[in-house]
A and B are shown apart, each in its own frame.
Chain A
């Protein structure tokens, strides 16, 4: 059956929301899938928030602009308020712990809280919080392989940034682990 995964990545500008989406799209492409990445448009750009819609599919993608998502990865309260209701029933909602005051309330979706910023601080690399989110996301929805993300980073980052790849790799793994840690706590 045709596989298609529709994701919204949302947060404040500067949190790496757009690059989080583009690295997922890029990795999908490396794995031979069809991908689209659509940055925020229209009134959604207001208030310093940024988001992008990423679609990874087996074949031709129809609309790059959609209003219901299989997964939402959110990094701030306004984005959660906006996109919680946009997750399809049975879908996935990942949110960053420290940026959310009012946690999601829906019970028909899979909700995962990830302390990405706290963990990024522990890694002494604030800028990899987004990759922790990506690691957590891929653990729940393995639409592309973690290894592909790493090789995508190698291709996407300019040479003089390659020293950052190990810490990004670490962040991806940490995100993966955090999902299970969190599940244990909830249980």
Chain B
């Protein structure tokens, strides 16, 4: 069947005779992203929605947006969505999944949301093995509120609330929540990915595809962490932020699978 697309961001009208090789998936609206230049959110949104479209799950997928920069995710993702209170996205997703068990449900949260104020909900959702996908964007900072220290900010990292650098004696070390979650039997698939280059994007897409497949099979919680950047919050250009990711963030948050289904 033909997919009807809104026109504003479509292929240029004078492109007659040219072949369409890349376009916005129908699972994204034509609302322009409000994200800062270079920010990883837009890419993660797009990859996630590509997977939903390619698997033909637009009618069956319900997302939960967080409080944070991606609070308006529901403006961009052209699927049914709910906006959760700060930290509670996985509880909201639980509520949806429990009453609509045949739908695909995901939550989408940042580090402050998932690993600080919502830690209890995060741990218990995974511990129950809720059959949902939890997407976790870790950029080590509170972006929306203007660059404050996050639970995942690195030791010595300067933010507006750690102007002399994160003092681990005062506020503790960054929390590697995904490493904690793999201890829980309810966690079926836990992986840490990135979107800083095309190869990483392809890997992330694979991780999302697997997560939807596992959800279809009723396997339990899939947890996909994306170690991402925040050029504005980090006070860097997008290019500098990619370098910072590679040099500083990835050593602290190594990429790769943390828990994969046991082979039978």
Please tell me whether chains A and B touch each other in their complex, using a CB distance cut-off of 8 A. Answer: no
Binding site for A on B (CB under 8 A): none
